[in-house]
Structure 1
């Protein structure tokens, strides 16, 4: 059996990640009968209050080529550590309003613990290592660069 060669996939979505995209992604896995557990993380823009005003949206930018390569490396690392069936990463670029989804991470495995552990580690690596930046857009037309924690 020939080994499948993995290549970088485009993880970026223009604007918010829609509920339909999330639902469709989940629904597509119902035909995969070797999956016993999924773990899903949804990152949502929140209305933080800053000194200069309340956040109304975040505008995400990235060094796309570098981010896609790094996301690929992170995916490969997670696949090598956990017995996963599937892994999906979607991250917004552009403006995402408060209450909308900006990050969707979805892992699947034969057993729940692998899916949950992989999802958690994946989210931490994305937040720490991907060259993606968020500018918080405030109610009063001011803006501040967001720090990932």
Structure 2
């Protein structure tokens, strides 16, 4: 399942969506808001998206994964809005018969998401803010 939400993400929901009786592996990536970037204290993050296009791009990622690896199911969830330290902006879950495929597909999903999906991140510091490129 692909989704963008203003509500908190739930890791177990993504795991449940990819659970499958033929799965020997479920790999999960959980992105979290950290408190420091380049020696600066982060207060919070703000995410914005061009939702219609972001959902299409996320679906393309899922389709590419299914073409490259023998996966059973994929969940890609991304949060938008204001997130505090420790909150979860992204969860990706992939199930497959074998762990190597699940690991590789999950890594591909987060790396490609950061490169192609129109979701933008602003870091808010005590002394200012900056929009962050996914791959500077």
Per-residue deviation, 1:134: 0.6
Q: Distance in 1 between matches of 2:24 and 2:89?
A: 27
Q: Distance in 1 between matches of 2:48 and 2:130?
A: 14
Structure-2 residue corresponding to 1:6:
none
Q: What TM-score do you get using the length of structure 1 for normalisation?
A: 0.81
Query: Which of residues 1, 10, 15 is equivalent to 1:26?
Result: 15
Q: What TM-score do you get using the length of structure 2 for normalisation?
A: 0.88
Which runs of no fewer than 5 residues in structure 2 stay unpaired?
Answer: none
- Return closer, same or farther for 1:29/1:82 CA change in 2, 3 Å cut-off: closer
Based on CA coordinates, which of the two structures has the bigger radius of gyration? 1
Q: Which runs of 4+ in 1 moved over 3 A?
A: 27-30
Per-residue deviation, 1:33: 1.5
Query: Which of residues 112, 132, 135 is equivalent to 1:146?
Result: 132
RMSD: 1.9
Q: Distance in 2 between matches of 1:123 and 1:116?
A: 11
Matched, 1:65 2:82: no
